[in-house]
Amino acid sequence: MDSRRTKMVGELIRRNSLAALLFWRPDELVMMLGYFPLWGVSVLLYPADGEPVLFVPALEPEDILPKGITVKKYPWGALDGNDPWEVLYSVAKEELFRRGLADGVVSFTRSIGGSAPCRMSAEQPPLPADLVLRLERVCAGGWKDTGAELSQLYDEKTPTDIVALEKTHKIAALAVEVFYREVGRGHTEAMLGALIESAVQETNGRGDVGFAKAWPMLQSGLNAADAGRFNRSTGKLIVPGDLVVLEMGVCVDGYWADITRTAVVGQATHSQQHMYEAVAGAQEAAFRLLRPGAAMREVDNAARSFIADAGFGSCFPHALGHQTGFRYHDPGDVLSPYSTGILREGMVVTVEPGVYSKELGSGLRIEDNVLITPGGYRILSAYPRDLKGGNQVYGK
């Protein structure tokens, strides 16, 4: 296990006098172990004392199991007529009793849904609500809500995480390259999305990538005026004169990037250039404030004011950014006018100003993922970000 992560979890356990923490969501297992489950439900039992143990479905492939931790298999998916949830409950309970933890207090995330899917499919298994209630009652001390602190674990990306996120962003760069290359070639929005997604998938066949998937969404012309409300691709043909917004989540081995680029087909009009300068300038204004200790609302305000000063004050209806990395959208404080959060070293935040206008008939957003460093920040998605996909890189 990552030593920095181990330290953080140990502190959480001590602060709350817990006997054990349980982790079961795929994004939690990526965060704790760099392990992105293939299917079913894996559960990490992390005790106050002694070694943690990971329960995995007996059918999980051996080579994706994390190293340096005790792994115990339980018969999820076996053809024996047993309910795997009952088996999981029993083995977790037995482990708590065996370790003398049953008099203490346990904690785990009990929110419903909210989890990244396993890599194998688009579904999650239906963890029964009753199982949660029963797990809460296993220990004499009951269950303690440490939700806010568990969420804070997501806030810090360790050096191990950053290496993994760099790989994700390297693959996302291929998608951006395809976007700029193909945007002017007469595709529909949906077809351009398919080409971009293909480029990401094709890395599955190369090098050390075990799983790579992208969720690109394209909006062009008037459709882009909605890009501040929602993102999706339609059958609309992309034509000269269009601004085209690419919004995209990319998952590589459980680690996520969240990228937006906007391109113009043909030459930008004066109005389009003005929108671009407002958004690019807003992003740069936000970048300049990124450092440990900065107030998130101040960063949002820097971008929001820049956009307002450029005359687009009513055209930026969403928050400036959120945390990302273990999921498409990590939990935790966001960059918004209502945020009370403070930037800390190791955070990865999106910086995604945009302007959208039915009157102007279009929309434009630029989104990058930025790591907060001791001295300021580092852009993980340092790809071209202008309207033509040129080579300049802002903010470095």
* Binding to a second copy in span 205-244, by CB under 8 A: 205-207, 209-211, 213, 215, 217, 226, 229-235
Q: Does 352 bind a second copy (CB under 8 A)?
A: no
Using CB under 8 A as the binding rule, whether residue 71 contacts a second copy is answered as: no
- x-or-dash pattern for a second copy, window 84-123, by CB under 8 A? --------------------------xxxxxxxx-xxxxx
Counting residues that bind a second copy (by CB under 8 A) gives 71
Q: Which of 211, 201, 163, 205 is nearest to 61 (CA)?
A: 211
Measured between alpha carbons, how far is residue 296 from residues 220, 301, 337 in Å?
31, 9, 8
Contact between 314 and a second copy per CB under 8 A? no
CB of 47 to a second copy, least distance (A): 23
d(CA 45, CA 54): 6
Q: Helix axis angle, 270-289 relative to 296-307, nearest 10°?
A: 160
Q: Is residue 283 within 8 Å of residue 353, measured between CB atoms?
A: yes
**Of 175-183, 184-192, 306-314, 357-365, which part binds a second copy (CB under 8 A)?**
184-192
- Other beta carbons within 10 angstroms of residue 141's beta carbon come to 15
If the CB atoms of residues 2 and 226 are measured against a second copy, the closer one turns out to be: 226
CA dist., res. 364 & res. 340, Å (int):
27
Residue 170 touches a second copy, criterion: CB under 8 A: no
In the structure encoding, which two tokens stand for residue 91, read together?
A: 């083995």
Which one, 114 or 159, has the nearer CB to a second copy?
A: 114
Residues in region 72-91 near a second copy by CB under 8 A: 77-79, 81
Work out how close the CB of 44 gets to a second copy at its nearest, in angstroms, rounded to a whole number: 17
User: Which residue of 10, 50, 61, 142 would you call a contact of a second copy, by CB under 8 A?
Assistant: 61
The correct pick among 128, 142, 311, 313 for binding a second copy (CB under 8 A) is 128
39 or 276, CB closer to a second copy?
39
Candidate list 328, 344, 378, 382; residue touching a second copy; CB under 8 A: 328
- To a second copy, the closest distance from the beta carbon of 375 in angstroms equals 31
CB closer to a second copy out of 70 and 121: 121
What residues have CB less than 8 Å from 308, skipping those under 6 apart? none
Contacting a second copy (CB under 8 A), which of 47, 104, 249, 395? 249
In whole angstroms, how close is the CB of 233 to a second copy at the nearest point? 6
Closer residue to a second copy in complex, CB, 103/202 = 202
DSSP 8-state class, residue 147: H
Q: Parallel, antiparallel, or unpaired for β 43-47 and 53-57?
A: antiparallel
CA angle, 57 then 156 then 38, to 5°: 20
Q: The tokens of 351 are what?
A: 């910086």
Let me know: does 155 contact 346? Beta carbons within 8 Å. yes
- Contact flag: residue 333 with a second copy (CB under 8 A): no
Contact between 148 and a second copy (CB under 8 A)? no
Q: What is the DSSP letter of 311?
A: I
Six-digit token string for 38: 């293939």
Residue 10 structure tokens? 């140990």
151 or 373: CB nearest a second copy: 151
Is 31:109 a contact under the CB 8 Å cutoff? no
Give the tokens for residue 229: 């409300």
DSSP class of residue 252 equals E
165 touches a second copy (CB under 8 A): no
**Binding of a second copy by 308 (CB under 8 A):** no
Residue among 100, 266, 337, 390 that touches a second copy (CB under 8 A): 337
Do residues 106 and 143 make contact, with C-beta atoms less than 8 angstroms apart?
A: yes
Q: Which is nearer to a second copy, 114 or 240 (CB)?
A: 114
**Contact predicate 324/333, CB 8 Å:** no
Structure tokens at 210: 């075990």
295 counts as binding a second copy under rule CB under 8 A: no
| Nearest CB to a second copy, comparing residues 205 and 374 | 205
What is the footprint of a second copy within residues 253-282 (CB under 8 A)? none
Q: Phi-psi bin for 333: left (phi > 0), alpha (psi -120 to 50), beta?
A: beta
